[in-house]
Each structure stands twice: as structure tokens, then as C-alpha cells.
Amino acid sequence: MASQVRPEWLGSYATTRHDWHTLRTKDHSGYYRRIGIVESLFDVDGSEFEGRADITTDLLVELRTSLTLSALRDRILQAWSVLREKHVLLASRVVKAADLLPHQFNNSPEERLFVFEPNTTSETMLSKAKDSLTFVEDHYPQVSIDEFFIHTLNTGRCLDASKALSRLYVMPIDSPDNAMQAVHFILVAAHEITDGLTVMRWMSSFIDLLNASAPQLAYEAESLCSVSPVARLPPAQETLYPPITGSAAKERWSWALSRILRHTRKLPPAAFQNPLRRRLPLTRATPMRPEFPAILDYTHVPPINTFAVRAALSPRASQRLTQMCRDARISIGSGCFALVAVAMMLMEERRNPHVPQHERQPFVGSFPVNPRPFLTGRSTVGREDSLMLAFSEGVSLPFLPSDFDLDRRLRLLGRQADRQLRQYQKRPRSLEEEIHLGSKSPTQLLPLLYLDTMERLEARCDATRKRGWNVQGDYPASTTSRLATCGISSVGDRGSIIRSGKYDTRMMPSGKDIAADFRNLESNVRARDGEFLVGAVGDNGQLRFNASYDGCAIDPALAEEWKQTMETLLEPDRLFKL
């Protein structure tokens, strides 16, 4: 398609529009790029809805050290400073393009940029890192980790995106005395720079840095300051989309086909509503009591409350589900999907016991898709360092009653989930298969994602950032305002990224003054209206489920009942009728 007739809304698809550029002004020196389309969707969440969708992560580390408390704090700051410089989006900020480069972006008031200004000395690296690091014990020597975590989700935004897109809280540490202790680090990061896989990758790198000696960290800092950061600058995912090859006519035809598929696609059936919802939803968020006013902002309240509920299957229950998946030849992620669906169906039966079976609506679970295997250029699989996310049309599963055998329910629903989830895998398919899949074909994943995201972004941002584009023309996309029953995502076994046992904390290694090993990681996002988002992960043979939810729409008491249901479903002495 000739550049002069290519629609303006296609300017970000597989182009150089979001490439990094050198920044040289009177006041600034570094690099900048336009925020990508998917990134912009989450930028709107964070900037216009008090940190909505920001990811808060509680990292638990077992630590032994011979350092004094003061020296240990210095080492943590040193490790944090290196982490930010290695993974540059942690240290990047967001600015309006017209404010930074008015002559270049004067006619584009809606444009926003990532800006990274590398440090030239380790001293400035430490100074800047210190601005985004809080030692909680400086203000509150005794703190409930769970309480503080919930407050970070329900107060004013914890980070200032105009300064940095992340902040690290170090929870109170006992005086070391060479004793082993548990230390919590709480990282808050804007969703526009990270996803679940990237967070784990960053936290694994942070633990590696904690185990480095002071001279090793100093050497790495000096190296980072002296080497160009260009190779470390993460691209926008749209830059890595495979271009549509061939003639201009073929490209026009391809985009016409994608838009027609959006217009004619069959939507998921109406799902039963989340059975954990309140009978009467709250109209506004309930403010938190100002327990930590010295470090959290209680003057601003998010539009809705966000709470977390976590269910951990016992090793026996985890093994039972894993074995069932193997016997059925389905992925463990599909089995987790089925387990969540069964639990929701049980909760729906308890809530509405008199609905006849033939009137029961199906379970629909929305889920994110990892687009990395579909991208071009140097593979980012296993090297996650930024947000890479796609959206699916969801998985629909039939409502199976509780008087149906549990194992048979799980196998049937697991197989159906697996079949639908496999549609999003990258593998060779015949033309007949592609035609049958239609809008669900992996070949359409990125074009449809691009179109969907453009329309979501246009609808969600305020008037000053709207572009006025009509990507569908006379054929509006087939859409629905119906919510899925809940959202589910699975990252598989996290042991390939972050695991316990990498470092031995039982005794201090020879020549070392610190040993730190991973123990647990829990991430939650500030929810959108009505959301109940379940993340499933495998950890050393145990399956864990962590839900972030809208506390104004979802009843916390019912969320706790869901947790108990999840944890007891596969136990031999289960408490609930199945």
C-alpha cells in the first residue's frame, strides 16, 4: 500500500513509528519513543483513573547476612539502582510529547512518550534510584504486610509517572545478626511497562543482584554507565508485528478481510454473571483508614476498591489435578481453567439454586494471550522486559451441575478449554482450518488485536487524546457489553523463571556477606469495573490461584467462600457438596 494512501490509523502497525530516538535538548539527554498502542491503553488507565491496572507485587525473600542493618540497606539500594538501569522501563517516565519537544509535536497534543535518561556515573544512578525507593521502617517500624499491600491498591497512585514508572517499598527488616529472616519487597509498576512474565523476570534479576557483592554491583554499575543502552531499549509490540507482505492491493485486501471478520464474527454466548457479585454494588470506593500517611497518598481515592484473594491447592490436590490433565492429554493451564469454572458453577448453584438446568447459561472466561511467539525480530520469549499482551474472545464452557461426577466434569471442561485455547497457538494450519477459525485464527490475532485496541483506546481516553479515527468504516465491529463470568490467566510453572533453592541460605557462603533466596511472589492489579481476574501459576509442584477484583462489585465474603471452594474441591475430605 503506497504510503500516501495508507490510512493514518495504520501508522503504528509493523512500522518504525514507535522506534527509540536520541534525545538532545538543553535540559535533557537520553532516548524517547512514542508509547505503543497496547501500552497507551494501560497508560490511560494509570494516568486518568488513579493508577488503575498498575501491578503491585509482593516478593518474599529469605535472607541471611553478616552486614549491619545500615550496610544491608545500602546494598539493597545498590541492587535496585542496577536493576533500574538494566531494565530501563523501570527508570523511564512518561511525558506529553508537545511538552518535551514542542516544535516536533506541536500538532500532536495526544502523543505521549517514554523517556529514558541513562546515568553517566554510579553516584547519579544511586541518587535517582533512591528517589523511587522507600524503606517503610523509617516511618513505621512495625507493619502488617497484608494491610500495607491492600493500602497500596486503594490509595492515590503510588508512583509519579512523570518521574518514574515504578516504585519499590522495602518492608521493615530485623537487625541481621547473621540470622535467617524473611524480607518482603513490594514493587508497584505501571502496567504499560510490564506484564506477569516480565515482573517475574525482573524479580528474579533483583534476587541475583542481592546476592552479588558490593564490588560486583559497583563494577556492573560502572559498566552500565559506560556502555550505550540502545540494546536494552525495549520495542513496542506493534513494531514487531509481522508486516503484510506483497503488493499494495494485497495489503488493502488483507485489512478489508480483517475488518469484515470483526463485523461478522460470532460473539461468545451470554454468560452467567459472576456469582460473587454484591446484591447491591457500591457506587464509590470506600477510603482506607490513613494508616501510612507518611508514604501513601490518602488525599486521592481510586474510583473503585481493589482487593485480593488467594487460593493455594495442597500438594495432594495439585497432584490430582496435574495427573488428570496428563491422563486427558491437556495442558495444566486448561485444567486450571476448568477448576475455576467448576468453582464458579458451584457458587452460582448456591446463589441461584432454583434455576432449571436447561436455563443455565455457560461459563465464559476471558483471558490474555501472550503475543511474543507471533512477533518478528529477535525473539523476546524467555527475555521478557516489557509489556506484551493480546486479548482473546474468551473461552465458553457449558454449565455442568454439581450432581455430575467431579472428575468427569473437570475432564470434560478441561478438554473443551484446551481445544479453544489451542486456537491461539502458533502452528501450521491448512487453508480449510484457517477458514473455519475465521476471526479466531492465529493469523488474525495481531491484525484484530490492533483494530480492537485502536477502538478501545479511542473510547477510553479523554477528548484531548482522541484521534477521531473510524477504523471500521461502514462495517462496525460486532461487540458486546456483556462481562465474562471472570478473567483467567495462566503463566504455567514459574520455576523456569524464578524458583526457590537457587541460593543456599542455610549458611553463609565463603567470602560472601549476604545470601538471599526466593520464597514467594504474589502480583495483583488495580481492577477495572466489575472485574474478577484470576491468575494461575505452578510453583514447585503446587498450584496457586491469585484473584484481583473490584471490591465495589464483588462481595469480599463471597470471594473468601470461593477461595475455600477452590482449596477443598479436590480434597478427599471436602467440606462442600459437589
List phi, psi (to 5°) of 180. -80, 140
The cell numbers describing 44, all together, are 490511560
- Report pLDDT for 574: 63
Q: Do residues 132 and 168 lie in contact, with contact meaning Cβ atoms separated by under 8 Å?
A: yes
- What integer pLDDT is reported at residue 428 of this predicted model? 52
For 489-539, what is each residue's pLDDT tens digit?
A: 999 999 999 999 999 998 887 889 999 999 999 999 999 999 999 999 999
Does residue 224 have a pLDDT over 70? yes
Find the mean pLDDT for residues 336-355.
97
Please, where in the chain does CATH 3.30.559.10 lie? Answer: 8-227
The pLDDT assigned to 316 comes to 96
- Check whether 435 has a pLDDT greater than 50: no
Amino acid type, 242: P
Q: Name the band, by pLDDT with cuts 50, 70 and 90, for residue 2.
A: very low
Residue 427 has pLDDT above 70, yes or no: no
Quick one: residue 540, left, alpha or beta (phi over 0 = left, psi -120 to 50 = alpha)?
left
Q: Is residue 395 over pLDDT 80?
A: yes
Per CATH, the number for 253-286+308-377+389-495+531-568 is: 3.30.559
Contact indicator for 376, 395 with CB cutoff of 8 Å: no
- Residue 576 is predicted with a pLDDT of 44
Task: Please check the confidence at residue 430 and state whether its pLDDT lies above 60.
Answer: no
Per cent of the chain over pLDDT 90 is 77
Q: Angle 5-8-14 (CA atoms, 0-180°, nearest 5)?
A: 95
Element (H, E) at 396: strand 395-397
Note the pLDDT of residue 440.
55
Confidence of residue 28 (pLDDT cuts 50, 70, 90): confident
**Which pLDDT belongs to residue 185?**
98
Mean pLDDT score across all residues of the chain = 92
In which band, very low, low, confident or very high, does the pLDDT at 6 lie, cut at 50, 70 and 90? confident
More confident: 377 or 271: 271
DSSP codes of every residue in 169-230 = EEPP----TT--EEEEEEEEE-GGG--HHHHHHHHHHHHHHHTS-HHHHHHHHHHHHHS-SG
φ and ψ at 538, to 5 degrees? -100, 140
Query: What pLDDT does 95 receive?
Result: 96
The more confidently predicted of residues 487 and 6 is 487
Model confidence band, residue 107 (pLDDT cutoffs 50, 70, 90) = low
Q: Are 578 and 346 in contact (CB under 8 A)?
A: yes
Mean pLDDT of 330-337: 96
**Are the C-beta atoms of residues 551 and 151 closer than 8 Å to each other?**
no
| Grid cell for residue 461 | 481516553
> Which carries the bigger pLDDT value, residue 6 or residue 316?
316
pLDDT of 431 over the 80 cut: no
Residue 286's pLDDT band, with cuts at 50, 70 and 90, is very high
- Asked if pLDDT for residue 110 goes beyond 80, the answer is no
In this prediction, residues 126-139 reach a mean pLDDT of 98
| Percent of the chain whose pLDDT exceeds 70 | 94
Q: Nearest Cα to 343, choosing from 368, 326, 365? A: 365
Task: Please calculate the CA angle 143-144-145 and round it to the nearest 5 degrees.
Answer: 105
Checking if the pLDDT of 178 tops 70, the result is no
Tell me: the pLDDT tens digits for 459-497?
Answer: 888 887 888 888 988 889 988 777 899 999 999 999 999
What is the average pLDDT across 343-354?
97
**Hey, which residues does 61 pair with through a beta bridge?**
183, 518
Residue 557 scores a pLDDT above 50: yes
Q: Look up the CATH number of domain 8-227.
A: 3.30.559.10
Q: Per-residue pLDDT averaged across 223-234, rounded?
A: 96
> 308 by DSSP, 3-state: which?
strand
Please state which of the ranges 100-114, 344-358, 408-422, 501-515 shows the lowest mean pLDDT. Answer: 100-114
Find the mean pLDDT for residues 93-108. Answer: 86
Mean pLDDT over 409-437 rounds to 75
* pLDDT for the residue numbered 3: 45
Whether residue 549 contacts residue 532, with contact meaning beta carbons closer than 8 Å, is answered with: yes
* Strand positions, DSSP E, 227-344: 306-312
Judged against a pLDDT cut of 80, whether residue 175 lies above it is answered with: no
Query: What is the residue type of 353?
Result: P
With contact defined as beta carbons under 8 Å apart, do 343 and 409 qualify? Answer: no
